[in-house]
Amino acid sequence: MSDTFKFHDLESAPEASKELLSRLFAESGRNGFYAVLSESPETLKAYTQLHSLFMNTSFTDEERTVIWQTINVEQECTFCVPAHTAMAKHMKIDDKVSNALRDETPLPTAKLEALRSFTLEVVRTRGNASKAIIADFLKSGYTHQNILEVVLGLSQKIISNYINHLAETPMEEKYSQFSWTKS
């Protein structure tokens, strides 16, 4: 048995993944992450459902980008950081925000910085965030609902970051202009 993951296409994917994989490829073009993920129909479905749920949270596109990229950078996902940089461009997120996230430099507003700090605390402490960080997050204008929604975003990113690491998903040509490595 090979330790290399298979990058499925619509013919080789498990039957239970084909319909969803076809839709995802139609929406975003052939994508190595989805090609790997389709090996497990349940994981493919879980990831896409988590993404859909996270897109419907109370966060703005800019705030979702802060959460995603904070996690991607912390987890050193060289596939996800470029992919989410492209997504941020598509969502018209200010390059100052994207660059600050990629470079781990201060964000343009205190509220976004509080979101990044809280997200990092949740990741680094595996959910055991300090009372001080939680208080700072809430004082910045966020809510307990937002705390739960950060965990939802983290749930999505654990799937993509970990699988891209395990599968060594190669950089997509469409994201290559945004390639990234941790400084």
Tokens (6 digits) for 12: 């080789």
Residue 3 has pLDDT above 60, yes or no: yes
Q: Quick one: 164 and 92 in the same domain?
A: yes
Average pLDDT over residues 59-81: 98
The residue out of 35, 56, 77 marking a domain boundary is: 56
* DSSP state at residue 10: T
- CA dist., res. 183 & res. 168, Å (int): 19
Average pLDDT over residues 63-85: 98
Share of the chain above pLDDT 90, in %: 93
Residue 157 has pLDDT above 70, yes or no: yes
Average pLDDT over residues 27-55: 96
Show the CA angle centred on residue 170, arms to residues 98 and 38, nearest 5°: 100
Does 96 fall in a domain? yes
Q: Quick one: 68 and 24 in the same domain?
A: no
Residue 1 has pLDDT above 60, yes or no: no
Average pLDDT of every residue of the chain:
96
In CATH, what number is assigned to the domain containing residue 123? 1.20.1290.10
Residues 118 and 134: beta-carbon distance below 8 Å: yes
Does 23 fall in a domain? yes
The residue out of 56, 73, 101 marking a domain boundary is: 56
Residue 9 has pLDDT above 50, yes or no: yes
Residue 138 has pLDDT above 70, yes or no: yes
Query: What domain range is 32 assigned to?
Result: 1-56
Does 12 fall in a domain? yes
Amino acid 101 reads: L
Does 183 fall in a domain? no
Number of domains the chain contains: 2
pTM of this prediction? Answer: 0.95
Q: Quick one: 140 and 50 in the same domain?
A: no
